[in-house]
Amino acid sequence: MSTNDTTDPIEAVRAKLEDEIPDDLVVSRVAYEGPELVIYTETPREFAERDGLIRRLASTLRKRITVRPASGTQLNPAEAKPKILDLIPEEAGITNLQFYPATGEVLIEAEKPGLVIGRRASTLREITQEVGWTPDVLRTPPMESSTVDNVRNFLMQERDDRRDFLERVGQRIHREQTGETDWVRVTTLGCCREVGRASFVLSTPETRVLIDCGDKPGAEGEVPYLQVPEANPIADLDAVVLTHAHLDHSALLPLLFKYGYDGPVYTTEPTRDLMGLLQLDYLDVAAKEGRTPPYESEMVREELKHTITLDYGDVTDIAPDIKLTFHNAGHILGSAVAHFHIGDGFHNVVFSGDIHYDDTRLFNGASNDFPRVESLVMESTYGRRDDYQTDQADSERKLIELIQETYDRDGKVVIPAFAVGRSQELMLVLEEAMREGKLPTMPIYLDGMIREATAIHTAYPEFLRDGLRDRILHEDQNPFLAEQFQQVDGGQEMREEVAGGEPCIILSTSGMVTGGPIMSWLELLGSDEENQLIFVGYQAQGTLGRRIQSGRREIPFSDRGGRSEQLTLRFDVESVSGFSGHADRNGLENFVGTMNPRPEEIICVHGDEASTDQLSSGLYQKYDVRTYAPRNLETFRFD
Amino acid sequence: MSTNDTTDPIEAVRAKLEDEIPDDLVVSRVAYEGPELVIYTETPREFAERDGLIRRLASTLRKRITVRPASGTQLNPAEAKPKILDLIPEEAGITNLQFYPATGEVLIEAEKPGLVIGRRASTLREITQEVGWTPDVLRTPPMESSTVDNVRNFLMQERDDRRDFLERVGQRIHREQTGETDWVRVTTLGCCREVGRASFVLSTPETRVLIDCGDKPGAEGEVPYLQVPEANPIADLDAVVLTHAHLDHSALLPLLFKYGYDGPVYTTEPTRDLMGLLQLDYLDVAAKEGRTPPYESEMVREELKHTITLDYGDVTDIAPDIKLTFHNAGHILGSAVAHFHIGDGFHNVVFSGDIHYDDTRLFNGASNDFPRVESLVMESTYGRRDDYQTDQADSERKLIELIQETYDRDGKVVIPAFAVGRSQELMLVLEEAMREGKLPTMPIYLDGMIREATAIHTAYPEFLRDGLRDRILHEDQNPFLAEQFQQVDGGQEMREEVAGGEPCIILSTSGMVTGGPIMSWLELLGSDEENQLIFVGYQAQGTLGRRIQSGRREIPFSDRGGRSEQLTLRFDVESVSGFSGHADRNGLENFVGTMNPRPEEIICVHGDEASTDQLSSGLYQKYDVRTYAPRNLETFRFD
């Protein structure tokens, strides 16, 4: 059957499908929902019986494929529910079971989703064969997370609206391409010769994609240059891609919806939840500091409603001429290196996002294995010639030593940390040290959103390192549940109590001392020489953290009444560098050096002027590739 | 008087004016017409009496100022005409006198405009004092030029419409600026790593200016990337600036009006006339070759109607945050280096256009003396390491030798030349050689638009070198009127006659052998070994000229009936390099090297890949400035 004269793309696909599938399978409707091709069938049971058919179709059509029962072909929920429960082993720990007649899906939330899925998805197929519904499986987080709950509930409630949205996006992605893809451009809207306000536009004659949209810590007014012509009209962007949840990449993403954007946000599942958490906190902090944030929480909900999550390694059409694949970036939970395949073999661009090249306790090191890559836009946070971090084992020893010394003199240790990433890494280090007797067991107080962020980690163990994942999945070994971890949930009163009490460790946000509970801890503990402040993460220029790290001891402060006063820090200030979520200079070089094939050109961004300059010239000298350290508002042409 | 609370900019200027001028001068209206501030007065005679007042106002207000009589204050034309003729010496040779009541101007066209103006404009002032009209003086070309006539007649006829247009532009130029100018960007729409389709966008947060809009000789489909977001919407551009009339800079400028542009085109007066000539020929050639040109001749008229001419050295507001000044570029008649002063001392960008650094017979060498310049976008046509042209004196000797040899063997010399620029330079060389007996006097046939282009040169002698200007203004010494110059005005028949006749020289367009009468000359003279083809100008990649220059002798041809056949060239082919309108590598280096102050960064464009690369690295090594050889579709950020 020839399909050449069919102009509607979906009809062409439908015709092709009918060529490929056996006659006894009845396809009632075919539709794109976002990047996926959804096949509605009158014979869901027969479809489920054909092991491998869907995989074969996906490879022939080069699409992600989902099969759903046409309505009316399923058992009614009252009959289906006991049958489903029968098929799933009890140890799976089902916590939620919900039917969605509009899509023919049944949502199954379980403590052990692997047992719901079965070996090679055999249990899922059995469920469909038995009841006609398509199962959609989620993990119940081992630690309760209000974020995960809220996001999931919200998305369930919006399920019908989302289907309309996904069909609209699907049609747009699979539209007929109007011309040839004969150029690729990247425009820098932020984070060039600076750390903060990460944002780029990737464009072709057919398509425009925005990558990240962050704020700049310590310089709230400096937002990405969204007004440049290359990004406009915002409403007409084809896609937004978020590499990870940190605010310097995500804070201003909801603003796009205020500007009329109505398209998809592609990111990983954990990043979706984390960004929601951090953005709502961003609004909260702004309100507390008397600033008017550029958008309202309603826009965060809009953004969640428009988010399409992808797993690492999924090759996904996001436009007629662009395929996106996420790879592990090793930086924080869900963080991704974004690989764009443009045109049909025309060009490949990789945005590193933030990366950690070596393995850490939490994550495998950043992936740098791509089928092809000609252009690389990479972070340069620690790009200076001398930006070498100590080995993590040495850093851990040093950290433990510092804590031991403070403990010995009856002092308390305060560690400013990002809620997401470094806090969990430190928790693992401290839990192990105490478990192995390298440190006396003492309370570790978590202030700010650290506990909540930790709970989100436990909801997505697939994104963590193997050993850690397994421990989390066995409740009695879950290191994050160790009893020395105590949430500061009693506000200022509890802080004062802790400050007046026994030796302890405090992990508190914000990580760059730009606000949040860390400010109270400086006030409560900073004037006592027995205590200690330890920096474990990058402190951006312009932040109070950077100023303290550089030796400043007199810091401005507003007291309860809002009057500003001066606080003199007398406690010891130390920095331990090995815990950064970022690759050091060595790691950045290795990320490029072991990349195969090697890119032809590298754009060094996300670092101050010296870092991007020195990394750029270093990579050029070492690997003989074209390198650049651009400014904001520049546009590069690739191919 | 305080004007701080006045929000209308024109009201503020009016108030300031009233502070500055004596009470007996009555100002009835103040308006911006394009970049000029026009003062309408009830007392034009008194204004004219105050010698130096207008100059003083111009310097206080930092505006170009024109004073016009308010209507009703002048003598009626019938009375005024004889008085004006009385005031002007007869030798001025008035050829046209026309009154424009709407603006209170009287147009005076004369063979010797200097005598109409008088010493330090004294005669002009006397005219106004006597009759109340403001004189506008034009030179009657010493050689009749239908282009100059047509353009001037057209503009006279559109005079009222133009005043509305100029007022609209004036209001836009002098609008209140909305924000700070804190960045400057330049986007390359063409002519990067190639010769042809010159076009750039210069933008600030407030303003967007398009510089040049040319075609690509030998690659008609490759037009500037006008569709990039930085150039759009085209209709909203603030200004278009044209550096010179050659088609690789001007051919597609009328297209902007088809795309809805309705703003000003800034260029010099000779460039205005030359571009009209060349663009209409461009449409003509396209029609003859069966191509559909991208616009119609109506758009050339639109463009002329929107053109505002500036003299070299005029510092002109073209937007709230941009001042434009043209400087002599030495390349062709009216060619300009465009200097943009951006913000109030924020940044200065120079676009070289095409330049000739050394003096030639026609022009002074390119000016490179600017108050400030941080960024330079410069041509690289002869930018290769070994692109050294022989000295013009040597080139002339070589040319004369080649012609003498051909003459001695009874052959004919064909020289493909741009109608504008190189033809006139050659005419001067040949006329002198014959006058001084270095060559026997023989006919020099001008084919294509060469004679018309030459006539335009004589209309603007101020744009030529001093000595040449003076000779042109004395009819008996005008070298272009020497009788050996003969126009080929008898079509193919005359060509055949010439081809069968005595030894002679033929200058014919097109300069790169991409069409036009040169094709006939190749056919008529190419197969005879006694004849000779001499290239004197740059032959761009992809043109037939370049292929012949590189040794190709079999060339495709359509015969009269339109069938294509093969023509074998047997005549001698030589290149004499010293006559280029472009600086050679040495000249390009000197243009930068003697520039004071030296720019901080240089963008090398308008040259093939090797030329821009080698010039870029050469300038970097020699002068230690940042240099780039960009691709099309890139955007640079300055400051």
| Tens-digit pLDDT profile for residues B335-369 | 999 999 999 999 999 999 999 999 999 999 999 99
* Lowest-confidence segment of A37-46, A472-481, B301-310, B548-557 by average pLDDT: A472-481
Concatenate the DSSP letters of all residues of B52-94 into one string.
Answer: THHHHHHHHHTSEEEEEEPTTSSPPHHHHHHHHHHHS-GGG-E
In DSSP terms, A240 is beta-bridged to A210, A265
Give the three-class secondary structure for A192.
coil
- Predicted local confidence at residue A83, as pLDDT: 95
Q: What is the pLDDT of residues B480-536, one digit of tens each?
A: 999 999 999 988 999 999 999 999 999 999 999 988 899 999 999 999 999 999 999
Closest-CA residue of A relative to B233 is A229
How many angstroms separate the CA of residue A385 from the nearest CA in chain B?
22
Task: Provide the pLDDT for residue A230.
Answer: 97
Residues 6+ positions from B567 with CB-CB distance below 8 Å? B522, B523, B526, B527, B554, B555, B556, B557
Q: Mean pLDDT across chain A, nearest whole number?
A: 92
Those of residues 180-199 in A touching chain B at CB distance below 8 A are: 183, 185, 187
Percentage of residues in chain A having pLDDT higher than 90? 74
The confidence score (pLDDT) of residue B560 equals: 59
What is the pLDDT, as a whole number, of residue A534?
A: 97
pLDDT at A260: 97
Q: What is the pLDDT of residue B184?
A: 97
The CA distance from A231 to the nearest CA of chain B, in Å, is: 8
Token pair listed for B472: 């042109």
Q: Which residues in chain A are contacts of B227 at CB distance < 8 A?
A: 205
Q: Which of A351, A185, A262 is nearest to B230 (CA)?
A: A185
pLDDT (0 to 100) of residue A11:
85
CA neighbor of B636 nearest in space, from B209, B307, B28, B201: B201
Which residues of B are annotated as part of the binding site for Zn(2+)? 244, 246, 248-249, 331, 354, 606
Distance, in angstroms, between B232 CA and closest chain A CA? 8
pLDDT bracket for residue B407 (50, 70, 90): very high
Percent of chain A with pLDDT over 70: 98
Write the pLDDT tens digit of every residue in A609-635: 999 999 999 999 999 999 999 999 999
Contact assessment for residue B312 and residue B326, using Cβ atoms and an 8 Å cutoff: yes
Pick from A307-321, A395-409, B279-293: least confident:
B279-293
Domains for chain B: give ranges and CATH numbers: 9-69 (3.30.300.230), 77-140 (3.30.300.20), 161-386+582-638 (3.60.15.10), 397-579 (3.40.50.10890)
Q: How near does any CA of chain B get to the CA of A214, in Å? A: 21
Strands A322-328 and A336-342: antiparallel
pLDDT tens digits for range B38-89: 999 988 888 888 878 888 888 888 888 888 888 788 899 999 999 999 999 9
The confidence score (pLDDT) of residue A386 equals 92
> Cβ separation of B230 and A230 shorter than 8 Å?
yes
For residue B182, the chain A residues in CB contact (below 8 A) are none
Say yes or no to pLDDT of B391 above 90.
no
How many angstroms separate the CA atoms of B24 and B46, rounded? 8
Residue A3: band (very low, low, confident or very high) from pLDDT cuts 50, 70, 90: very low
Mark yes or no for CB contact B637/A636 under 8 Å: no
User: Residue B230 and residue A635: Cβ atoms within 8 Å?
Assistant: yes
Chain A hits for B374, Cβ within 8 Å: none
Residue A1 confidence class, pLDDT cut points 50, 70, 90: very low
Do A187 and B631 lie within an 8 Å CB cutoff? no
- pLDDT the model gives residue B316: 96
What's the one-letter identity of residue A568?
T
Q: Per residue in A88-102, pLDDT tens? A: 999 999 999 999 888
Smallest Cβ–Cβ distance between A230 and the set B205, B229, B632 belongs to B229
Cα–Cα distance for residue pair A332/A327, rounded to 1 Å: 13
* Predicted local distance difference test score (pLDDT) of residue A221: 85
Give the per-residue pLDDT at B5.
Answer: 46
pLDDT, mean of residues A526-534: 95
CB contact under 8 A, B635 and A187: yes
What is the pLDDT at residue A602?
98
pLDDT at A559: 63
Chain A hits for B185, Cβ within 8 Å: 633-634
A634 touching chain B per CB within 8 A:
yes
Q: What would the mean pLDDT of A359-367 be, rounded to a whole number?
A: 95
What's the pLDDT tens digit per position in B304-346? 999 999 999 999 999 999 999 999 999 999 999 999 999 999 9
The end-to-end CA distance of chain A, in Å, is 37
Of A38, A11, A157, A35, nearest to A103 (Cα)?
A38
Q: What is the SS3 assignment for B366? A: coil
Residue B632: which of A631, A634, A637 has the nearest Cβ?
A: A637
Cβ pair B146, B125 in contact under 8 A: no
Confidence of residue A578 (pLDDT cuts 50, 70, 90): confident
pLDDT at residue A4 tops 50: no
Q: What residues contact residue B438 under an 8 Å CB cut-off, 6+ apart? A: B400, B432
pLDDT confidence bin for B625, thresholds 50/70/90: very high
CB contact under 8 A, A635 and B632: no
Residues in the annotated binding site of B: 244, 246, 248-249, 331, 354, 606
User: Would you place residue B6 in the very low, low, confident or very high pLDDT band (cuts 50, 70, 90)?
Assistant: very low
Nearest chain A CA: its distance from B225 CA (Å): 11
Count CA atoms closer than 13 A to B548's CA, side-chain side.
28
Q: Interhelix angle for A422-435 vs A392-408, to 10°?
A: 70
The H-or-E segment that residue B558 falls in is: strand B554-558
The pLDDT of residue B557: 77
Dihedral pair phi/psi, residue A14, rounded to 5°: -60, -45
Average pLDDT over residues B581-586: 94
Q: Is A248 annotated as a binding residue?
A: yes
What ipTM score was computed for the predicted complex, to two decimals?
0.83
Contact B632 A636 (CB under 8 A): no
Element (H, E) at B143: none
Mean pLDDT in residue range A401-429? 95
pLDDT at A2: 41
Among A193, A206, A208, A228, most B C-beta atoms within 10 A, so best to mutate, is A228
